[in-house]
Amino acid sequence: MRKNAATPQWAGEGIALNAIAPGVIETPMTAELLANEEGRRLLMEGSPAPFNGPAGPPTAPAGLLRYLTSEENSYVTGQLIFIDGGAEAIRRPETL
């Protein structure tokens, strides 16, 4: 994605090329874990998310994708955006 974002085929055609890296999201797959304290604790151990808890709502990555693919995004390209409640910041605070 980063390698291709600035090429004539993408940027040259006015197409923003980005990616998102979601953390744990509230879905049917995570519902059982989120339903009890032990499950939430396990999620926080595996993917620490100090900003708003162990799982984000599906609207969070959907809203980010909506913006990144909209005409309103006129300048963001070549980026990997973590939407994970802070997990990446905790795991690798010295990078980026």
Does 69 reside within a domain? Answer: yes
pLDDT at 94: 82
The number of angstroms, rounded, from the C-alpha of 43 to the middle of its chain's C-alpha atoms is 16
Domain that holds residue 66: 2-91
Residues 6+ apart with CB under 8 A from 55: 23, 24, 25, 26, 30, 34, 43, 49, 85
| pLDDT on residue 76 | 98
63 domain residue, yes or no? yes
Which residues have a Cβ under 8 Å from the Cβ of 73 and sit 6 or more positions away? 16, 67
| pLDDT value, residue 93 | 82
Give the 3-state secondary structure of residue 80. Answer: strand
Total domains in the chain come to: 1
In a domain, 96, yes or no: no
Which two tokens mark 87?
């997990």
Look up the pTM and report it: 0.87
pLDDT value at residue 95: 61
pLDDT along the chain (96 residues), means of 10: 97 97 96 96 94 95 98 97 96 76
Cα(30)–Cα(82) distance, rounded to whole angstroms? 19
Domain at 49, CATH number: 3.40.50.720
